[in-house]
């Protein structure tokens, strides 16, 4: 079986490289056929300068769609070969301006006939082919300019990993992860307070046995995120959403949102009418997440933690 039949479309880069190598090899042979002593990679710069103008490397790079560094390197080769020359720029000496030399112009003139023949050969291939590669390349370039293959793969990877995250209820075996995940984000900005240590050391006693719940996010069977619903008594709120933490090595996968959505959905289905939370505005991603979930900032607050500077509520049932 052919290699590309086995790999499928994921090997598009390799396939394009092979096609490029085939075309480049033919291009070198064509120049030799016409007795024109230039390298194929010089052609775009030749074509850009063929009208006799002087142009800056930056302008040429933008015109032919190559990097400034690449054009600069090729231009130096062409200067050494005597086909282009650098011209002083009186207004900006940092800018490299180049133009074809007399020899370079002669080569450009010789290229006219060759280019016509090459164009006819390419048109023959297009006529024989089922699909128009030239139009397809232009279309791909436009699509990739809007969103690269890398961006698309990153999105697909994130969605796949999100789908592989499993939310489970708390068990004693998750106590260490519950402690460490919360300790990590709290100590990044502040210090652990007595109330933190009390809850994190014995969550079963201080949360579960008080009517609360803890949810754990598992990725590849490892606990990577936690969130708690602490039962509130003698309060207009049923639960406090608290101790949301995600392993920083696996963030940006929507795990925090998935945990919060799970907790809010669980509270709603259990008959809760309102949730409360306390946080700090330094935690911008978390605050943004809470707002997306529908939490509204309370005008007055009485923080239970020294680090608290914002309190929010979410009405579940009206």
Q: Kindly report, residue by residue over 161-202, the tens digit of the pLDDT.
A: 888 899 999 999 999 999 999 999 888 888 888 888 888 899
The answer to whether the pTM exceeds 0.75 is no
The predicted pLDDT at position 174 comes to 95
Q: Is the pLDDT of residue 19 over 60?
A: yes
pLDDT tens, position by position, 21-39: 999 999 999 989 999 888 9
Of 265, 164, 282, 281, which is closest to residue 224 (Cα–Cα)?
A: 164
Split at pLDDT 50, 70, 90, the class of 243 is very high
Residue 241's pLDDT is: 96
**pLDDT surpassing 70 at residue 302:** no
């Amino acid at each position: 079986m052919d290699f590309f039949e086995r790999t499928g479309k994921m090997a598009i880069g390799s396939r394009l490289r092979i096609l490029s190598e085939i075309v480049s090899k033919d291009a070198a042979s064509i120049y030799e056929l016409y007795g024109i002593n230039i390298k194929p990679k010089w052609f775009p710069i030749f074509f850009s300068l063929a009208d006799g103008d002087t142009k800056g490397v930056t302008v040429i790079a933008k015109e032919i769609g190559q990097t400034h560094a690449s054009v600069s390197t090729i231009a130096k080769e062409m200067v050494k070969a005597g086909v282009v020359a650098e011209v002083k720029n009186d207004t900006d000496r940092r800018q490299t301006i180049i133009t074809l030399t007399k020899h370079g112009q002669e080569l450009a003139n010789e290229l006219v006939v060759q280019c016509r023949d090459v164009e006819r050969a390419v048109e023959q291939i297009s006529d024989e082919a089922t699909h128009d590669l030239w139009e397809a390349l232009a279309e791909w370039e436009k699509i990739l300019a809007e969103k690269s293959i890398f961006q698309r793969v990153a999105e697909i990877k994130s969605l796949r990993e999100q789908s592989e995250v499993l939310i489970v209820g708390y068990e004693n075996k998750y106590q260490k992860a519950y402690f460490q995940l919360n300790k990590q984000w709290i100590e990044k900005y502040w210090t652990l307070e007595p109330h933190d240590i009390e809850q994190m050391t014995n969550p079963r006693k201080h949360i579960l046995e008080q009517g609360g719940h803890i949810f754990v996010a598992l990725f590849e069977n490892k606990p990577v995120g936690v969130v708690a619903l602490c039962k509130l008594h003698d309060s207009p709120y049923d639960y406090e959403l608290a101790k949301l933490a995600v392993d920083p090595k696996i963030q940006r996968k929507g795990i925090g949102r998935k945990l919060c959505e799970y907790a809010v959905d669980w509270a709603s289905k259990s008959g809760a009418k309102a949730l409360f939370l306390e946080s700090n505005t330094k935690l911008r991603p978390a605050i943004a997440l809470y707002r997306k979930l529908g939490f509204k900032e309370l005008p007055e607050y009485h923080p239970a933690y020294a680090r608290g500077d914002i309190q929010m509520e979410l009405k579940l049932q009206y």
